[in-house]
Amino acid sequence: MSQNYHIVVCAGIVPDPLQTLEPIAGPAIKNELMLPAALDPWAGHALYEAAHLAKNAPGSKVWLVSLGPKAKLQQVLMTVAQKAPFELVALDGPGGGFTDAYEVGAALADAIRAIADLDLTRLLVFGGWESASRGAGATLQIIGERLGIADQFQGVDELTVADNGALRILERVEGGNHQVSVCAGPPAVLGWATGNLPEPPNNPQTGMANMRTAMPALQRAKPANLPGAGINYASVSLPSQRRETRIVKDLPPDAIAREIVEWIKG
């Protein structure tokens, strides 16, 4: 593999759900700040795939770009830094699920453009196809558009590099099948599903090497002032549970279906 890459992994952090999260006015989540944070699981797959690709393409480099509260980012890095080698680019801002995908995408795209020595002709932007916090499914697409990247793939399960440098990509489609796409090469945006790689074991040496650059990156993290962060909701609540049970024998299927339709309409 003669081609080498500049791989940027966009990853958010989410609360590790040890208990039910209840919404409160703000918008915010009750007890969210008390829960330990974790790397978004979809973004985690993207990071592992990026590290695997970089390992097999000598000369490649991986950046982890994340937007969230600095204190929570530092907590997550204590474990994530031992999984794969990367250079951190941190943005200090809200990390919950109430941020707007366009605003987050714009902030991350600007942070990617500001990376020193980044070669856009070798750029691969990785991230989660879905998210445990920002599940709009649009953030990566917005990043790609703002960076001028037209080749975008979502729901990626596998990436292989051909001898000529072409990227062969398996994307999830309906019916449990995969769509096979071939891209001539970078730049490209890949939104990962689960991938094919297991979670790497902890490597203390990798962790120490990452933290030497991660801690200074956290200290100089620029504030990400998202305009929509000032929105305030007057009231919020969990969806109400409703159950109505009636036991009836020997009712024809057509009558059952008719009652269900009438109940839904009502």
- Read off the pLDDT band of 20 (50, 70, 90): low
Which two structure tokens, joined as six digits, stand for 182?
A: 């071939």
Whole-model pTM: value is 0.78
Q: Is there a contact between 70 and 37 (Cβ–Cβ < 8 Å)?
A: no
**Mean pLDDT, residues 155-165:** 88
Q: Which long-range contacts (CB under 8 A, 24 or more apart) does 23-30 make?
A: 23/236, 23/237, 23/238, 24/236, 25/232, 25/233, 25/234, 25/235, 25/236, 26/98, 26/232, 26/233, 26/236, 27/96, 27/98, 27/231, 27/232, 27/233, 27/236, 28/96, 28/98, 29/96, 29/97
Strands (DSSP E) found in the chain:
6-10, 13-15, 23-24, 28-29, 37-39, 61-68, 87-92, 123-128, 152-161, 167-172, 178-183, 188-192, 222-223
The predicted-structure confidence for 161-213, as pLDDT tens digits, reads as follows 988 888 999 888 887 788 899 998 889 999 988 877 888 888 888 888 888 88
**Residue 134 above 60 pLDDT?**
no
User: Residue 129: pLDDT band by 50, 70, 90 thresholds?
Assistant: confident
Q: How far is CA 117 from the centre of its chain?
A: 24
Q: Which long-range contacts (CB under 8 A, 24 or more apart) does 154-158 make?
A: 154/129, 154/191, 155/129, 155/191, 155/193, 156/129, 156/190, 156/191, 156/192, 156/193, 156/195, 157/192, 157/193, 157/194, 157/195, 157/196, 158/195, 158/196
Regarding predicted confidence, which is higher, 91 or 26? 91
Domain boundaries, the chain: 6-230
CATH hierarchy code of domain 6-230: 3.40.50.620
Cross-strand pairs, 84: none
List pLDDT tens digits, range 31-87.
Answer: 666 677 888 888 889 999 999 999 988 889 999 998 888 888 888 888 888 888 898
pLDDT band, very low/low/confident/very high, at 235 (cuts 50, 70, 90): low
pLDDT band at 130 (very low <50, low <70, confident <90, very high): confident
CA distance 167 to 149: 15
pLDDT over 60 at 1, yes or no: no
Asked if pLDDT for residue 141 goes beyond 60, the answer is: yes
Instruction: Give the pLDDT band (50/70/90) at residue 26.
Output: low
Distance from chain centroid for Cα 128? 3
Which two tokens mark 142? Answer: 């917005």
